[in-house]
Structure 1
Amino acid sequence: MRLEVLPVLGIGDVTEGDDLSALIATAAPWLRDGDVLVVTSKIVSKAEGRLVEVPIDGPEREAARAEVLAGETARPVARRGSTRIVQTHHGFVMASAGIDASNVDRSRLVLLPKDPDASARALRAAIRERHGADVAVIISDTMGRPWRNGLTDVALGVAGMPAVRDHRGEVDPYGNKLNITQMAVVDELAGAGELVKGKCDQVPVAVVRGYLGAAGPDDGLGAAALVRNAEHDLFALGTAEARADGLRAAATLAESTAGGPVPPVVPAVLDGTDAGLDSAVVDRALRMVAGVVAPGTVWTLVTDDRRVRDRLGESAPPQGYGTAALLDCAPPGPADGDPGVLIRFGADLHRLRAALAAEGLGSAVLPAPSGVLGATLLLSYPPGPAAGL
């Protein structure tokens, strides 16, 4: 494969209502079928009128920009100083929702195209119908990357080719079956186009020639195929935001068995013997809080099935469904009329429940055995549905 990356020169400034297909075709009459047209999203936004008026400077400008950002934000992701990382209504996670103040009059801000895939489809159709070239179109913009310095161009909209080249099911030269390899080729092509476009050269369009033999017969799924589903996103929040979310979860920790029967710790194995609770999980939670609870606080884990069932009585889970485990908790000494001891113990008990939840163990607070100062935690694994974890 031989690739050429060619700048499209002479397009000039783009204003609202301009016909991008005419501007591009006039500047690049050499377009061929199968070329990949990489178009900077900013000129698409300008042509579509995706601009907003803002004050030129001062606090009024910052306030107006913040208001615009709020309107373009579907979900905040992270905040550091004046930097805002957000998820746009398109699903993209970007700094400042892609709002741009460069290469535009200072009284305006440029927003991302409303629907970049639709913009790519419309531009492809216009070039094919009016100018006779069947090309693929990528609408590109600049993004940062987690864990890496520097920016690169990526695809926001695509028409005429798949966004992803799927290698799953293929076998490599060593006989290994590929299970997860999916290459975001449109991002790679967008990055290649940026090499000849630059940021200050006013070259908003590039052509990558040689990658496609021919554009696809239809427009394809577009760049929407690149947006990761929330359930598969392992890094949905910034570190500070994830920590804050965890603290909120700890502050509102629910009883894992509330509103339902006591769940088993784990299912019993097929021969009917008790699979038991991995005490190492509890040990990790205890070590986590060891340095912050009152010195001398006593924790006693009870996993013996017979002892647990005797103490739970009718609340014990049915035979054959595993066991519940108990964790007896006692303050360092008698309260002796000092309510502060019990208040501190209650706070320490909640700290432990939060640590157990972090290990995937749900818990519910039960009274301690008769005549014993303290409380008992009923442990469940996995957490009961009311735990919210």
Structure 2
Amino acid sequence: MKIELIGLENLPLVKKDDDLSSLIVDVAFNQGLKWKDGDIIVIAETIISKAEGNYINLDSIKPGKKANHLAQKTGKSPELMEAILNHSREIVKVGNDFIVTETNHGFICANAGIDESNVEKGWATPLPLHPDKSAKNLRKNIELKIGKQLAVIISDTQGRPFREGAVGVAIGSSGIKTIWNRKGEIDLYGRKLETTQIAVADELAASASLIMGQADEGMPVVVVRGYSSFEILKDPESGAQDLIRPKKYDAFRQ
């Protein structure tokens, strides 16, 4: 068993109203990639937001009193802090150099997922407004062009509680179950699994981030090929919203 990670090289810088499906198909063709059923496209959330024109002009923001107060505490600019507040439904934790919020989507992450990297100075990109919908539209458009059955995962790089470093996680998905519920299956010793659920979309996003990179690699699209469970997990309706744990079950926010 093996899985391949194929980075799409020389993707042009994405701008508003670009047709991402055509860009991806064209770059893959130029690279000599022949699509296969079961290919999983992992794409960085930044270029989704760029193509959708979802930018924040930080220089145009007038911070309020709360943003100014939080900026002093975190060391972030008041303009960025105002943007974070605008894209959050709840502040989870504030420290000397960080803020963790629950985004309007329901994700728990630093800075509401707003990214100032790989974008022009003075601008930032928030998370896509409707990432599951964006993933679904992109998947359908690419499938129409290539005649193969795919999955699309929109990834972001986020930190994790109690652990250093950041990993790729799925914030949008279409075409594959994001969670694999294995409850009731038998382990190597004949015992039934009681609670095991696998965050499949997060694992795929994390694997793709190994070659996607975070700096100037310029490889925001990665094809994961050979995932043997694609057939049993393919699902046109599942999305990354399924990965969000309801607050009432969150032991750390009770």
- Aligning the two structures, in what range does the TM-score lie when normalised by the shorter sequence? 0.7 to 0.9
Check conservation: 2:101, 2:111, Cα contact below 8 A: yes
Question: Aligned equivalents of 1:4 and 1:134: distance in 2?
Answer: 17
Quick one: which of 37, 43, 51 aligns to 2:41?
37
Deviation at 1:217, TM superposition (A): 6.2
Deviation at 1:130, TM superposition (A): 2.4
The one-character-per-residue Cα deviations of 1:290-347 (angstroms, maximum 9, x if unpaired) are: xxxxxxxxxxxxxxxxxxxxxxxxxxxxxxxxxxxxxxxxxxxxxxxxxxxxxxxxxx
Structure 1: which amino acid aligns with 2:242? A
Quick one: which of 182, 200, 224 aligns to 2:241?
224
Check conservation: 1:37, 1:138, Cα contact below 8 A: yes
Quick one: which of 141, 149, 170 aligns to 1:126?
141
Deviation at 1:214, TM superposition (A): 4.6
Pairing 1:205–2:221 present: yes
Deviation at 1:82, TM superposition (A): 3.2
| 1:227-376 to 2 correspondences below 5 Å | 227-236=244-253
Structure 2: which amino acid aligns with 1:211? Y
Deviation at 1:12, TM superposition (A): 2.0
Quick one: which of 102, 117, 120 aligns to 1:87?
102
Runs of 4+ in 1 over 4 A off after TM superposition: 212-218
Q: TM-score, normalised by structure 2?
A: 0.88
Question: Aligned equivalents of 1:34 and 1:4: distance in 2?
Answer: 12
Higher Rg: 1
Check conservation: 1:75, 1:88, Cα contact below 8 A: yes
Check conservation: 2:177, 2:234, Cα contact below 8 A: no
Unaligned runs of 5+ in 1: 238-389
Check conservation: 1:34, 1:215, Cα contact below 8 A: no
Check conservation: 1:139, 1:156, Cα contact below 8 A: yes
Q: 2:9 is matched with which residue?
A: 9
Check conservation: 1:33, 1:214, Cα contact below 8 A: no
Question: Aligned equivalents of 1:191 and 1:125: distance in 2?
Answer: 23
May I ask how many residue pairs the two structures share in their alignment?
235
**Percent of aligned pairs sharing the same letter:** 39
Deviation at 1:128, TM superposition (A): 0.8
The one-character-per-residue Cα deviations of 1:124-162 (angstroms, maximum 9, x if unpaired) are: 000011232321000000010100001000000110000
The one-character-per-residue Cα deviations of 1:29-55 (angstroms, maximum 9, x if unpaired) are: 322221010000000010011101122
3-state SS of paired residue (1:12)? coil
Quick one: which of 155, 165, 174 aligns to 1:140?
155
Quick one: which of 161, 166, 169 aligns to 2:181?
166
RMSD: 1.9
Q: 1:291 is matched with which residue?
A: none
Question: Aligned equivalents of 1:187 and 1:157: distance in 2?
Answer: 10
Quick one: which of 59, 80, 83 aligns to 1:55?
59
Check conservation: 1:142, 1:153, Cα contact below 8 A: yes
Question: Aligned equivalents of 1:134 and 1:2: distance in 2?
Answer: 20
Q: Which has the higher contact order (CA 8 A, sep 6+)?
A: 2
Question: Aligned equivalents of 2:19 and 2:183: distance in 1?
Answer: 40
Check conservation: 1:7, 1:197, Cα contact below 8 A: yes
Question: Aligned equivalents of 1:175 and 1:159: distance in 2?
Answer: 34
Structure 1: which amino acid aligns with 2:4? E
Pairing 1:21–2:25 present: no
Q: TM-score, normalised by structure 1?
A: 0.58
Check conservation: 2:42, 2:152, Cα contact below 8 A: yes
Q: 2:196 is matched with which residue?
A: 181
Question: Aligned equivalents of 2:248 and 2:46: distance in 1?
Answer: 31
The one-character-per-residue Cα deviations of 1:354-389 (angstroms, maximum 9, x if unpaired) are: xxxxxxxxxxxxxxxxxxxxxxxxxxxxxxxxxxxx
Deviation at 1:222, TM superposition (A): 0.4
Deviation at 1:2, TM superposition (A): 1.4
Structure 2: which amino acid aligns with 1:224? Q
